């Protein structure tokens, strides 16, 4: 079979010591092994044939789907799990979460990724020096690693929101160019973290014996995922409040400016009519031969402006 695993381990139990060793993914799991973990790349052409020979048909089809969402379902004596990790690959957005597909039984684990998942790489590195004693502990470490990195990204979104709040509510005013992209990023992250929290909760309730010793640890991971979902919801609401406040301030400024312009226009409207009337060049205009006519027109215009201003004050428009 033409298959090149990213890694393959047999976790062996020797007395009270658990050791990890690279395994032959094609051969049977040794009787001395507690479990085998095979990590595969979705682009590997041998993945389909390998899964066909190792997992139930329904699991085989689910693991190779082009699009996935977080899920956790028991199939016979194993668990089909789809999870997501934040995208920490260079040049990528963290909220563009990467998928991780898992088939887990008491003695066999296969994981498939399309892009590098840093939580899996950290677990892979630790296998040589600090391997998990069983499949349940492996699942706890994996889910903890995924949630750790999601929490870090969530905290960064919270910090960015705090800076925006300081700038807007602190009287900084001005524009808020980062609100739109930050809101989109939070919503995109929340879109996957919510279903993932539900999948992790489902994992704590799956009735399989190899999970029993680790249910409390899995519940703690689920609680952390729940808190992250709540924090992302809170950040989304705060960003909405920031944007609403910014728009309200902008509308208030526009209203004040428009009001001032309206007042000025109201004062100068009769003056414009008066000067326009005396500016026509037709016969019979009064004052054409009187030397004080222009001075009288200026005084009359000033008096009319003062009268208009006083009327507005009396009407409490100013």
**Three-state SS across the chain?**
CCCCCCEEEEEEEECCEEEEEECCCCCCCCCCEEEEEEEEECCCCCHHHHHHHHCCHHHHHHHCCCCCCCEEEEECCEEEEEEEECCCCCCCCCCCCEEEEEEECCCEEEEEECCCCHHHHHHHHHCCCCCCCCHHHHHHHHHHHHHHHHHHHHHHHHHHHHHHHHHHHCCCCCCCCCHHHHHHHHHHHHHHHHHHHHHHHHHHHCCCHHHHHHHHHHHHHHHHHHHHHHHHHHHHHHHHHHHHHHHHHHHHHHHHHHHHHHHHHHHHHHHHHHHHHHCCCCCCCCCCCCCCHHHHHHHHHHHHHHHHHHHHHHCCCC
Residue range 188-214: mean pLDDT, rounded: 93
Token digits of residue 47: 């993945």
Two structure tokens written together for 266: 């109201």
Max CA distance (Å), the chain: 124
**pTM summary value:** 0.78
Does residue 78 fall inside a structural domain? Answer: yes
Q: What is the mean pLDDT of the chain?
A: 84
Do the domain assignments include residue 234?
Answer: yes
Higher pLDDT, 169 or 105: 105
Asked if residue 15 has pLDDT above 50, the reply is no
In a domain, 257, yes or no: no
Q: Are strands 71-75 and 78-85 parallel, antiparallel or unpaired?
A: antiparallel
Is the pLDDT confidence value at 290 over 80? Answer: no
Residue 206 clears pLDDT 80, i.e. is over it: yes
First to last CA, the chain: 87
Identify the pLDDT of residue 44.
Answer: 87
Within-domain flag for 205? yes
For residue 294, being part of any structural domain is answered with no
Band the pLDDT of 53: cuts 50, 70, 90. Answer: confident
**Which CATH number do you get for residue 202?**
3.30.460.20
Q: How far apart are alpha carbons 118 and 126 in whole angstroms?
A: 12
- The answer to whether residue 172 is domain-embedded is yes
Q: Is residue 72 part of a domain?
A: yes
Expressed as residue numbers, the domain containing 245 is 7-249
Summarize the confidence of residues 102-114 as an average pLDDT.
Answer: 93
Look at 20-24, 36-40, 145-149, 165-169 and tell me which has the smallest mean pLDDT. 20-24
Region 272-298: mean pLDDT is 71
Angle (deg, nearest 10), helices 135-169 and 118-126: 140
159, two tokens: 């910090």
Number of domains in the chain: 1
On whether residue 256 sits in a domain, the answer given is: no
């Amino acid at each position: 079979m033409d298959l090149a695993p990213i890694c393959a381990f047999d976790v062996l139990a020797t007395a009270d010591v658990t050791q990890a060793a690279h395994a032959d993914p094609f051969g049977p799991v040794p009787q001395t092994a507690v479990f085998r973990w095979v990590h595969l790349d979705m682009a590997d052409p041998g993945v389909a044939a390998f899964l066909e020979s190792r997992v139930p048909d329904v699991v085989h089809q689910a693991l190779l789907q082009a699009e996935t969402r977080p899920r956790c379902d028991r199939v016979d004596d194993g668990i089909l799990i789809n999870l997501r990790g934040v995208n920490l690959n260079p040049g990528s957005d963290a909220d563009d979460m990467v998928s991780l597909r898992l088939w887990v039984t008491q003695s066999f684990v296969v994981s498939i990724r399309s892009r590098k998942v840093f939580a899996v790489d950290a677990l892979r590195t630790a296998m040589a020096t600090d391997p998990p004693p069983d499949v349940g502990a492996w699942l706890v470490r994996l889910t903890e690693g995924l949630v750790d990195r999601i929490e870090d990204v969530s905290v960064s979104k919270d910090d960015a929101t705090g800076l925006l709040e300081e700038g807007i509510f602190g009287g900084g005013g001005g524009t808020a160019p980062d609100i739109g992209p930050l809101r989109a990023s939070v919503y995109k992250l929340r879109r996957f973290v919510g279903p993932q929290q539900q999948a992790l909760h489902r994992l704590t309730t799956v009735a399989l014996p190899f999970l029993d010793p680790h249910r409390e640890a899995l519940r703690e991971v689920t609680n952390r995922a729940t808190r992250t979902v709540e924090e992302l919801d809170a950040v989304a609401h705060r960003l909405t409040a920031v944007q609403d406040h910014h728009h309200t301030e902008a509308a208030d400024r526009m209203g004040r400016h428009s009001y001032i312009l309206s007042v000025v226009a109201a004062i100068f409207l009769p003056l414009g009519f008066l000067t326009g009337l005396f500016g026509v060049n037709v016969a019979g205009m009064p004052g054409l031969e009187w030397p004080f006519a222009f001075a009288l027109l200026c005084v009359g215009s000033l008096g009319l402006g003062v009268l208009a201003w006083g009327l507005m004050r009396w009407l409490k428009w100013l």
